[in-house]
Every structure is written in C-alpha cells, then in structure tokens.
Structure 1
Amino acid sequence: MSAPLLADPLGGPTDPTVIQHQRTGQWWMFYTQRRPHARGLGVEWVHGSRIGTAVSDDGAAWRYRGVVEGLDPANTPGRHTHWAPEVAWDGNRYHMYLSWIHGVPSAWAGHERHIAHLTSPDLVRWEHHGFLALGSRYVIDAAVATTADGRVRLWYKDEADGSTTHAAVSQDWHTFAVEGQVIGGVPHEGPNVFALDGWQWLIADEWCGQRVYRSDDGVTWSAQGRILDIPGSHAGDRQVGRHADVVVRGKEAVVFYFTHPHWGGSNAVEAQVGALRESTVHRARLWVSEGVLRCDRDVPAASPLSTGRGRP
C-alpha cells in the first residue's frame, strides 16, 4: 500500500518532482514546503514556502535533506514564495523551472506569478537566469520534456487564460517561444509530461484526480480518463492524488503525488490551521495496456524504484 514517503518537518510537502543524481545514482526529490501550521489572515500558509529536498538510495526510503538556498534573484531581499519546482537534466547540467511569487501574499488574487529558470552542476548550487518570457504574468507549474521533433518543450498553467495548459518550445533550455494553449477545457494545474510505451503522456491535476492525455508527437493531445481519483488502501492515502511527477523505468513508471490525508476537498480548509492543511507524498505504479494509461496506488512500501542510474 502507498504509505507516506517522507517526514517533512513542517508537515506540508506538495508538488513533488523526482530526479536521479547523475554522479551518485541517488534519487532526489524537490517539493514545495508548505507551512500548514502557520497562522495568518489568509492564505499565507501556502505562500512564503521554500523548496524542500529529500534523498533516497532506492526510491522507497527517503530522508529529509533541507531546503534549497539561492532561488531568489539577487535584487529581491526578503522572503518570497517558491512553488512547484521542475528539475531536469540536459546531458551536461540540471535545470530548474520554479514558480516564483514576490513576497508572502495573504490572498490568492492580485499577485503576479512567474517561472524562474536556474541551472546547477550538482543539484545543490543554483545559478539564477531570470524569469521566462511566456506572454503572461500569471504562470506557474512548469513541466519540461523533449518531444518527437527533438526540441525541448515547456508546459505550464496560465491563470490568465482560465487556468489552462500552455506550451512553449526551445532549442537551448533557456529561451522559449510561446506556442499557446494546448490543453483547454475545465481549469486545471500541474501538467507533467513523460514518454511511455511508444506514446507521450500528459497528466494534469483537476483537483478530482489527474486527467490523462495521450500524444504521438508531444504537440497535439487526446484526452483519456483519470488516474489517482480512486483512493488507495493506506489510511493516509484515501484522498485524490494531486500535482504529480512521473519517473519512467522501462515498460513501467512510478508517479509521485501528494494528498491531504485529513481533508476531503472543501475550501474551508483555507481558514483552518493544522491537520486539515497537512499533506503527504506517495507513489503509485503506472503502465500502459491497450493504449490506455493504468494506475495502481497500492505499491508495496519497501519496493525499490531502481538500482540503475540515469533518468530516461
């Protein structure tokens, strides 16, 4: 069964992304470290967040490592909001695409959101390259992958366009040309893109599970059903799986996601302090059967992710 994977000291790990360290072979998890027990007038508990890290030798047993330093631009003193890190390896260095908000807002609306680009040689030291020009001042939740045409694409949530998924394309991981909306329909967030069984897949968080999309080129997408909408058997994994990341290992994959174990989904949680706001990170198994993405949340707790190195 999918027991919680790590003990975060603040009790608020969300938006996990997992990558294998190219030198050591260890698995590294980066995540938004919310502050569920912070007292404020509004939603400060989801703002002012740092990026937490955890490491694992096998992808099953994780230990907290601390927060990532150096993620703010040099000319912005004070505390700021860091969300939803996307971390990828380009063959030479690591890239982080980080959702960044100035300060610690007490309300959702009225605050610009940007995606910062940083690079690192070792997942520890990060160099800030500024904010991506994506045609909107309200963009969060970046995902990056190489598509069938050999180019790098970035997918992200544009809150100014009904909280839908947009895409941009790049030749160098640094400068992106906006392509526009690629997933419309109902509002959603947290897109994640990966290749499995000859297809490219995109999952997006609709707050009632992850909507699945399939593509043969990573550019145009067709919708399937949902995953992570059915509860797992563990007592802490009974709510929908939120904002996820996928690691592919051969013919199968592992999806890392978070959930609020004590909260059924009512917005009233924003006004409360403590357990209802707490979150936990879990993992589930993914595979493809007859062209459909399948999911099983009840992964044995001690099941290793892999002993090999590199992230496909």
Structure 2
Amino acid sequence: MSKQLVHSPLFRDPIYDGAADPVIIWNHIEKQWWMIYTNRRANVKTTGFEWIHGTDLGVASSNDGGHTFVYRGILEGLAIEPGRNTFWAPEIVYEKEVYHMYVSYVVGVPSTWNFERHILHYTSKNLWDWEYIGRLPLSSNRCIDACVHKLPNGNYGLWYKDEVNESHTYMVESSDLYEFHNPIAVLEEFAHEGPNVFRFKGFYWMIIDTWKGQGVYRSKDAMTWIRCNDILSETGNKEDDYGFGYHADVHVQEDEAYIFYFTHPGRIPCVEENFYEQQRSSLQIRRLTVNNGELSCDREEEFMYELI
C-alpha cells in the first residue's frame, strides 16, 4: 500500500444511506481498518424521529489504508433485552488485546427525544463477537456520545454528553476501562454533543459538535480546557461535503492527524426539500494541522494519506 489522494465522500451506507457518528479502529485479526458507525435509516419516512432510533451499528472495512471502505453489515449480538432497540455513537478502544466498546443505548424506537439514554460497555477479541459488561453509572439517566482517552496519570478518561445537565460534557475516570467513577462537569459554556479527545502536536485536544461545526478546545493535562477556534463550520465544496461537519472521530499517527465526520449534504438550499435529502448523510475524511496553537482543517485541501 502507499499514500493515495483523498476523495469525497469517503463512504455512504448502501442499505439506509444514513452513516453517522463514525469511529475508526484497526482490526488486529483481519488486518484491516474498520469504521463502525450509527446506521441511521435515512431512506425510511417516519412521522417523527423513528428513523434516527431503532438503529444498528454499521461496519465498513478497508484493506487499502483507509481509502476504499466496503460495507460488511452490522454488529450483531448486542441485544440486552427483547425487541428492536437503539444503538448510537460507538466508541472503541483497544487495550491489552481486548476491544472495549462504549455505545449509547435507547430502549425501543421512540418518535420523540424524551426518553432515557444510557452508555453500555461491551468487550471483544475480534470486533465481531461482543460480550455485554454493563451499563456505566454516570451523572444522569440521559447520557450519550462516549469518548475514551488515556490521561497523563495513566488512568482513562471517558467524556460524554449529559442531556439532563444542559447537554454539557462530563467525564468519569477509570484505571482499568471497567470501573468508572466520579462524574465531573468539564465543559459548561453552552449545549453541545459528541466530545472527542486526542493528543496531537504536544497538546490534548477536544472537539465538540456544536450543530454548526466542531468547537475546539486545547489542554496540557486533559483536565483544564482552553476554548480555541471552530473547524468544519464553513461548508465544503467537494462531493457530499456540503454544510456543517458533524460528530467526528480523530485518528492520530506519528505527526499526522485525520478527522472522520459526517455531513447532511441534502440540507443545502439549492437541493429540493424532501425527507430523503434532509435525512441522508455521508462520511468524510480530512487532514488536521496545528498552526500557532490553533487546530486547522482545510476542507478543500488535496492531500495524500495512508492510515497506518
């Protein structure tokens, strides 16, 4: 494999065309890059928000360094109770030959937002077969959008959105990825979702989905955060990269960083309004850089890359 030119879109779900909330992870068994994502049912017309609920986790894999992703189906065996239920926004980390997945969960297929949400913990050795560990004890009964990153003290931080507490970002800490304790508020300036934490160019960074792009924060210790700029807040012009960039994941390798995010390309004014165009979504990849202490993302940049 070698570096290839970025293309747009990176991936569209071939069944429901509603890929969202991607996480990128290396499959050590298959020796491929995997994207696991919320499999929204964008081509299904509903009276309310049923198309966003009742979702499985889609799987796409790449054997060419993250350029071409092939749909592989959904993650099965996640059910913890009968019926059709909802899985959103997976976060997956690999530690000591075990994959840990933290995923948002809603009972049933609600037509409104006013339902409990929890974050569930699963483990796997191969990314296909999952064992349910339990529900995380967090700061309220409406928590979603987990992100995990190692802290300077060697423990793990898990950041998430608490909808009861004004949709702010909270964090819990763990020494082993199984037991999490002491929920604390982290970002309380305004409502947002989808926190994602990574280390790049000597700093910890947190991006959050503000529903009009990604807000950026910088930290030296992953505990105290300084507000920086916004990225993905101005529309792109490449195919399906229109409008804001939503709920993102970042992959860092050596001195490079790549952001995976989704768009709603049919929500721009020149597109005829219909339920399908309003609901469909596409996954994109772009390069991140740091200039003068600010994180940058040029959506029009032509660049070569290979995930390693």
| TM-score bracket for the superposition, by shorter chain length | over 0.9
Say if 2:69 is the partner of 1:65.
Answer: no
Is 1:80 aligned with 2:85? yes
Distance 1:82 1:105, change over 3 A: same
Selected match of 2:223 from 200, 219, 234: 219
Say yes or no: does 1:135 pair with 2:150. Answer: no
One-letter amino acid of the structure 1 residue matched with residue 306 of structure 2: L
Distance 1:168 1:247, change over 3 A: same
Matched AA of 2:174 = S
Q: Percent identity?
A: 43
Letter in 2 for 1:305: E
Superposed CA deviations along residues 262-296 of structure 1, whole A, max 9, x for unmatched, are 1149xxx8xx6212110000011002122211112
Which segment is superposed worse, 82-91 or 292-301?
292-301
Provide the C-alpha distance between the structure 2 equivalents of 1:80 and 1:137, rounded to a whole number of angstroms: 17
Q: How does 1:1-312 map to 2 (within 5 A)?
A: 2-8=7-13, 9-57=15-63, 58-73=65-80, 76-109=81-114, 111-264=115-268, 273-298=275-300, 300=302, 303-306=304-307, 308=308
Show CA shifts across 1:198-231 (max 9, x none). Answer: 1110000001110000011111111101011122
Aligned-partner Cα distance in 1 for 2:198–2:184:
20
- How far 1:78 sits from its partner (Å)? 0.8
Deviation at 1:300, TM superposition (A): 4.3
- Give the drift of 1:235: 3.5
What is the one-letter code of the residue matched to 2:277? A
CA distance in 2, matches of 1:103, 1:198: 43
* 1:175 match: secondary structure: coil
Per the alignment, in what secondary structure is the counterpart of residue 274 of structure 1? helix
**Could you report, residue by residue, the CA deviation over 1:52-91 in whole angstroms, capped at 9, with x for unpaired residues?**
0100121111110100001121xx1110001000011013
The code of the aligned residue for 2:53 comes to H
Q: Which runs of 5+ in 1 are unaligned?
A: none
One-letter amino acid of the counterpart of residue 229, structure 2:
G
Q: 1:262 is paired with a residue of what secondary structure? A: helix
* Structure 2 spans left out of the alignment, 5+ residues: 1-5
Equivalent residues, number = 298
**Alignment check: 8 A CA contact 1:17 1:245 kept:** yes
C-alpha distance in structure 2 between counterparts of 1:228 and 1:63, whole Å: 26
- Deviation at 1:22? 2.4
Contact 1:2 1:298 in 2 (8 A): no
CA distance in 1, matches of 2:300, 2:91: 25
Question: Aligned to 1:95, what secondary structure does the other structure show?
Answer: strand
TM-score (norm. length: structure 1): 0.92
Q: CA deviation at 1:135?
A: 2.5
Length-normalised TM-score, structure 2: 0.93
Shift of 1:127: 0.4
Confirm or deny: 8 A CA contact 2:12 2:18 kept in the other structure. Answer: no
